[in-house]
Amino acid sequence: MQAILALEDGRIFRGKGYGARLERTGEVVFNTSITGYQEIFTDPSYAGQIVVLTNPEIGNYGTNPDDDEAGKPYIEGLVVREFSPYASNYRSHQVTDEYLERHGVPVLSDIDTRALVRHLRDRGVMRGVISTLELDAEKLVAQAKAAPTIDGVDLAKEVSTKESYQWTKGDVEERIITIPHASAKSLSVVTAAETNGPERKKVVAFDYGIKANILRRLVSSGCDVTVVPAETTAEEVLALAPNGVFLSNGPGDPDAVVYAQKTIRKMAGRVPIFGICLGHQLIGLALDGKTYKLKFGHHGGNHPVKQLKTGKIEITAHNHNYAVDPDSLKQSEVELTHVDLNDNTLEGLRHRSYPLFSVQYHPEASPGPHDSHYLFADFVKMMSEWRG
């Protein structure tokens, strides 16, 4: 099967096709993670985007239900250097090709992804069309030019849960099991009931596109979690009498999520709040700051971030297209806590008076390093010390 990627500026990439036989449009971005492709597929923050993976070999360890971050893949399409039609891993339930075909995701393989990534770095992210059906380049370029952008679009409410629910599963752990004449590992899920520690905290988590591993980290950190839709009001949340509120990651333009900004303003100072990614951007806007779109975004599991107070460096996982302008925040009210060492973008903030802090990156990783897991403990500590 042949496939093609056509960018709005006329650049064309042709190669082999896998996955679903169809065409999809989206904003083309690249991710530099070395592993964790299934978690990337199923991250709702990628809604509306075609993802280019820079790691050259994709699909080789297959897919399995434990690695899903949501109920389905949210990427519009996938572009890779080499795509494996086979899977070699004891955890694999389905080869990646069949998995993406089942979920309607087209794949373009056997192209020079280095050339494509350099093009996006030089020109910035742009709209594109990936197709395993139509192969006429001129038609696809015209289609890419006519495709809508994600600027000014509220995608959070599109990917959010429609109903509230309780989440009780903690971290997935590997445990050794014994099999006659062999050894193997099994994956076990730790539940809230199995997590020892001090009195558990009631947390309401806003779903703007929340990843499962965030919820697992909250549970394993000592939280009983209620997940609510993106458009839930401050009054509805406060009526649940939570010890804290979590604001999740998500796709789209934070400026367009006006209802969430209003909700955060009403909750600020009344309950401890922790936000990441889109949640961080929404906090910035709720504090009368401004956001702006990055040239090609931050997507990957290897971004160095500096803690401004201690000077410590964390290697962190990122997936965002927008950032908060630090100069737009009132320094008398907001402390800047983290900065990205690649481009000096703001990566964290904390309110000087309210129990409220946020980071731009993903402390739950999945995929990515675990340097930032301490932030979940900081959130629990803040809830324990709050006497509002």
pLDDT in tens, 288-346: 999 999 999 999 999 999 999 999 999 999 999 999 999 999 999 999 999 999 999 99
Ranges of each domain in the chain: 2-149, 157-385
Decide if pLDDT at 184 tops 90: no
Which residues are part of the catalytic machinery? 277, 362, 364
Decide if pLDDT at 189 tops 80: no
- What does the pLDDT average to over 177-184? 39
Name the phi and psi angles at 263, rounded to 5: -65, -45
CATH number assigned to the domain covering 2-149: 3.50.30.20
- What does the pLDDT average to over 112-137? 97
| Helix (H/G/I), strand (E/B), else coil: 370 | coil
Decide if pLDDT at 39 tops 50: yes
The reported pTM is 0.93
Percent of the chain residues past pLDDT 70, beyond the cut = 93
Would you place residue 172 in the very low, low, confident or very high pLDDT band (cuts 50, 70, 90)? Answer: low
How far is residue 383 CA from its own chain's centroid?
Answer: 25
- What does the pLDDT average to over 276-298? 98
Decide if pLDDT at 178 tops 80: no
Average pLDDT, the chain: 93
How far is residue 379 CA from its own chain's centroid?
Answer: 19
Q: For the ranges 25-39, 182-196, 218-232, 257-271, which has the lowest average pLDDT?
A: 182-196
| Helix (H/G/I), strand (E/B), else coil: 121 | helix
Higher-confidence residue of 199 and 102: namely: 102
Decide if pLDDT at 190 tops 80: no
The reported pLDDT for the residue numbered 175 is: 38
CATH number assigned to the domain covering 157-385: 3.40.50.880
Q: Which candidate, 195, 187, 237, places its Cα nearest to that of 217?
A: 195
β-strands 49-53, 77-79: how paired?
parallel
268: tokens are 């600020």
The reported pLDDT for the residue numbered 330 is: 97
Decide if pLDDT at 220 tops 60: yes
The span from the CA of 182 to the CA of 80, in Å, is 35
The span from the CA of 156 to the CA of 229, in Å, is 9
DSSP class of residue 159?
H
Tokens 């990441």 found at: 276
Would you place residue 171 in the very low, low, confident or very high pLDDT band (cuts 50, 70, 90)? Answer: confident
96: tokens are 């990646």
Query: What beta strand segments (E) does 94-222 contain?
Result: 106-109, 126-131, 165-167, 169-179, 182-191, 201-207
Return the amino acid letter for 61: Y
Name the phi and psi angles at 108, rounded to 5: -110, 125
